[in-house]
Amino acid sequence: MISLISIVFIVMGLAFIGGLALMCFTKAFGVVFLGNPRHTFHHEVKEVSGFQLAPLYAIAALIIIIGLFPKLFLDLLIKPVQLFTGLQQLPFVAFQGNGLEVLVSVSHASWYLIGLVLILLGLRKWLLRNRTITVMPTWGCGYTAPTAKIQYTASSFVKTYSKLFGMFFLIFKKEKEVQGIFPTDAHLETRPYDKIEKWLIDYPTVNFKLFLDRFRFFQNGKLQFYILYGIIFIILIISIPLLYDKAIQFIEFLKQL
Amino acid sequence: MLSFLLIILAAAFFTGIIIRTKSIASGRKGPGLFQPIKDVVRLFKKGAVYSETSSFVFRIAPTIYFSSVFVAMLVVPFGQSKWLISFNGDFIFFAYVLGLGKFFSIIGAMDTGSSFEGMGASREALYSMFAEPAFFILMGSLALLTGHTSFQEIFATLHLGSSITYALGGLAALVFLMIAMIENSRMPLDDPKTHLELTMVHEVMILDNSGFDLGLILTAGYLKFAIYGAIIFNLFSGTISYEYAIPMFFVMQAFLAFVVGMIESFMARFRMNHNAQFIVVLSSVSLLIFFGALLVSGKFI
């Protein structure tokens, strides 16, 4: 019965992961890279040189290739795995089993998707080659005064979600309210912080550091003390086994009495 | 091949029936059944206007959205026959390839730099996050009932015999219908006719698209409805032979379109704050179906 309920929670958790990943990545990518610049910098903003970008592109290309040709990657991977786990009875045929054969079908389906996207993009280019394409300010339902400030920020993008799951978050708010009949300026800044991270990671880390701070007198920067620690260590290393043997002999002697 | 052609044919008149039902229920005559197709063809013939804030993301997003819906269509079987994509666990692939399309439509909307599209993007991300557990728990309970994990095998071996399984099948059809309403942004979650800021979810994401892109997005919407209609049909018809199944398929799609039109005519949209609650209620109904499946397969009590 308990295992059943836990299975249900596991399934719901796994299903939520996909949706949360969608929300997280659209928020991060959309707020940082898309739309109008939300923050004006005082220096000129330009992209770094191609040599700095090339390794990033190489890593991204490798990830995509592993996704599209998983069997190739698994064939390469089997040799080190055999070395470490001693699966000598596995021939040079790669992994078998239900889960990994699914990867092959998924990559076939991904090829269909990529092929279809390329065909449609080509069709679109061909259809639009003789038609007028104009570039105008964003229509946005006829809004006449767009600025960069009306765009969604990260906090506002997930506002509904953080209100629903508010018990897991701490929201820090810095606010200067609108005052008077002719207000001059106002601003609002919210930062969320994960409560679980605060209680499970931050608090133990801080308390552990406080405990270790009591022993900080060992590190006082004077060379003489460090040489003294070395001498004490050598004395202990030599004398403790000797003393241990002597103590064992004494106990044997006492046992004989 | 059969399911592919049938879904395309059904998509051609599904939305037309919905609009016609809504018109007749409000006392008008309404447009013809193929008016949505004529709208899409008209859009395909036009040029395009792009926003100066948007980048290449805005131009490729509708294409990727349509392709993802198309590939999802290839997964859905018809009775005993499957087509190009069918493997163990393919319903997970189905859900997430639709999620990929949603991701691109959301970032295409964020790219315009307008507050309206950002609002639609935020709401769409939230509602699809809540609708996923309902789908997965439902498919999981169907997999539990039949012991297989691929769409085609599940539907081929689903025998609705006893009264409990009929009840489960009815509930599952209801949940699928509600998920279809959520995914296509119809009532009671989103009004496709309104263009008021407070009330839009999906319509507002496509405000800036025009021409060929808008035609692709509309076609993808029609196809999604027909896909969910085909899944609901498959729930009830695993073992019927083809000469009865094909007419029944069209009858059931027309009936579903009629039901959707009726729901849209007689129900107002929920308050925006209650939408999330409603979708979580769907997950609870799926949980009920899950426990019912456990009961039927004897693993519970």
Show the 3-state SS of A55-72: HHHHHHHHHHHHHHCHHH
Contact A117 B67 (CB under 8 A): yes
Nearest residue on chain B to A164, judged by CA atoms?
A: B276
The answer to whether position A27 is within a domain reads: no
Sign of CA dihedral A113, A114, A115, A117: positive
Residues A136, B102 contacting (CB under 8 angstroms): no
For every residue of B226-271, DSSP letters joined together read: HHHHHHHHHHH-TT--HHHHHHHHHHHHHHHHHHHHHHHHH-PPPP
Q: Count Cβ–Cβ pairs < 8 Å, chain A vs chain B.
A: 205
Structural domain span for residue B54? 40-224+268-292
Pairing of strands A133-136, B48-51: parallel
For testing the chain B interface, which of A117, A131, A158 should be mutated: the one with the most B CBs within 10 Å?
A117
Residues A120, B67 contacting (CB under 8 angstroms): yes
Q: Reply yes or no on whether the pLDDT at A201 is more than 90.
A: yes
The answer to whether position A78 is within a domain reads: yes
Q: Copy the structure tokens of residue B50.
A: 């792009």
Measured distance CA(B57)–CA(B67) in Å, rounded: 15
pLDDT score at B86: 80
Measured distance CA(B116)–CA(B254) in Å, rounded: 34
Which residues does chain B have within 8 Å of residue A140's beta carbon, measured at their own beta carbons?
Answer: 112, 114-117, 207-208
pLDDT score at A150: 81
Q: Which of A132, A159, A175 is the last residue of a domain?
A: A132
Q: Copy the structure tokens of residue A60.
A: 């991204």
Q: Reply yes or no on whether the pLDDT at B88 is more than 60.
A: yes
DSSP conformation class of A191: E
Q: Which of A105, A132, A159 is the last residue of a domain?
A: A132
Nearest residue on chain A to B54, judged by CA atoms?
A: A35
Highest mean pLDDT among A111-120, A125-134, B195-204: A111-120
For testing the chain A interface, which of B94, B104, B122, B142 should be mutated: the one with the most A CBs within 10 Å?
B122
The answer to whether position A189 is within a domain reads: no
The answer to whether position B261 is within a domain reads: no
The answer to whether position B8 is within a domain reads: no
Rounded average pLDDT over A47-55: 91
Measured distance CA(B37)–CA(B255) in Å, rounded: 20
Which residues does chain A have within 8 Å of residue B300's beta carbon, measured at their own beta carbons?
Answer: 4
Q: Each residue of A119-154: pLDDT tens digit?
A: 999 999 998 888 888 888 877 777 777 777 888 888
Residue A239 at interface with chain B, using a CB cutoff of 8 Å: no
Contact B115 A140 (CB under 8 A): yes
Does pTM surpass 0.80?
yes
Average pLDDT of every residue of chain B: 85
Higher pLDDT, B66 or B272: B66
pLDDT score at B72: 92
Is residue A248 exposed (0-12), middle (13-18) or buried (19+ Cβ within 10 Å)?
exposed
Contact B128 A19 (CB under 8 A): yes
Question: Where residue A211 falls among pLDDT bands split at 50, 70, 90?
Answer: very high
Domain count along chain A? 2
Question: Where residue B61 falls among pLDDT bands split at 50, 70, 90?
Answer: very high
The answer to whether position B243 is within a domain reads: no
pLDDT score at A151: 84
The answer to whether position A191 is within a domain reads: no
The answer to whether position B91 is within a domain reads: yes
Q: Reply yes or no on whether the pLDDT at A29 is more than 80.
A: yes
Question: Where residue A214 falls among pLDDT bands split at 50, 70, 90?
Answer: very high
Residue A184 at interface with chain B, using a CB cutoff of 8 Å: no
Q: Which of A132, A156, A184 is the last residue of a domain?
A: A132
Structural domain span for residue A226? 216-256
Q: Tell me the residues of chain A between 91 and 110 that have a Cβ less than 8 Å away from chain B.
A: 98, 101-102, 105-106, 108-109
Q: Reply yes or no on whether the pLDDT at B123 is more than 60.
A: yes
The answer to whether position B23 is within a domain reads: no
The answer to whether position B129 is within a domain reads: yes
Higher pLDDT, A213 or A161: A213
Residue B87 at interface with chain A, using a CB cutoff of 8 Å: yes
Rounded average pLDDT over B273-298: 84
Domain count along chain B? 1
pLDDT score at A120: 93
Contact B107 A106 (CB under 8 A): no
